[in-house]
Structure 1
Amino acid sequence: MTHHVKSMLETYPKDLPGVDLEKLAECIDACFECAQACTACADACLGEDMVADLTQCIRTDLDCADICATTGSVLSRRTGFETSITKAILEACAAACQACASECEQHASMHEHCRICAEACRRCEAACRDLLSALG
């Protein structure tokens, strides 16, 4: 998916100085991938026999999915780019991913969907932090 994300970013008619398009594309891709993984993990948790034990995991998955989807959408819009808003949403997304990964890792040995979700969250967290560093 990163290819399409980067291709779309490259079609923007104006230059956006100070933004590394490669890191931006990677972060957008990681955000949308994480949102999907978190949504699917929450749904899989609902299908488990011990669903009552997974309430916190489900809640964290759904919160992270919403935050990641929103972050991916905000990062995809370049017109009127506001660095302070971008930094704030990247920080929030990294924090949500960190919390979700930590929660899912607690269940990873029992539930493969939690292991996969934790991996997606760690990738997204890293991508958000990389982009934050690039923005200065």
Structure 2
Amino acid sequence: MAHQQYQSCIDACDACAAACNHCATACLSESNVSQMAECIRQDMDCSDVCRVASAVMARGSRNIKDICGLCASLCEACAAECDNHQHEHCKQCADACRSCAKECRAMA
């Protein structure tokens, strides 16, 4: 099965997407929501691309390298944005993003 060779990256993408979704939702509950807008946007973009990357790897698409390269870039940007905030959900998201970026860079 095509996905077995990509399993660690698929797992990292899935974990990152979940962390980003959690972070975006938690940011919406912060008292300073307007200051969290960019974090929320980055979370949503990152989560969406992580899900796409996971799917293309699972089916062995010929576009894996390009999509994983994009995913790594968005994960790095999301981690950098989350690092601007002291909330625990942002710290956890940044960690997940860095882990995913590392896995995706290896694919790209």
- In which range does the TM-score fall when normalised by the shorter chain? over 0.9
Contact 2:64–2:107 under 8 Å retained in 1:
no
1:70 aligns with 2:52: yes
Larger Rg: 1
Structure with higher RCO (Cα < 8 A, 6+ apart): 2
Segments of 5+ residues of structure 1 without an aligned counterpart are: 1-11
Write out aligned runs for 1:74-93 (5 A). 74-78=56-60, 81-82=61-62, 85-93=63-71
So what's the TM-score if we normalise by structure 2?
0.94
1:87: Cα distance to partner?
A: 1.0
Corresponding residue for 1:53? 35
Segments of 5+ residues of structure 2 without an aligned counterpart are: none
Measure the CA separation in 2 of the matches of 1:42 and 1:90: 22
Structure with greater proportional helix content: 2
Corresponding residue for 1:95? 73
Q: Please report the RMSD computed on the Cα atoms of aligned residues, expressed in angstroms.
A: 1.5
User: In structure 1, what residue type is equivalent to 2:40?
Assistant: I
1:20: Cα distance to partner?
A: 8.1
User: In structure 2, what residue type is equivalent to 1:44?
Assistant: A
Aligned length: 108
The share of aligned pairs that are identical, in percent, is 45
Q: Which residue of 31, 35, 40 maps to 2:22?
A: 40
So what's the TM-score if we normalise by structure 1?
0.76
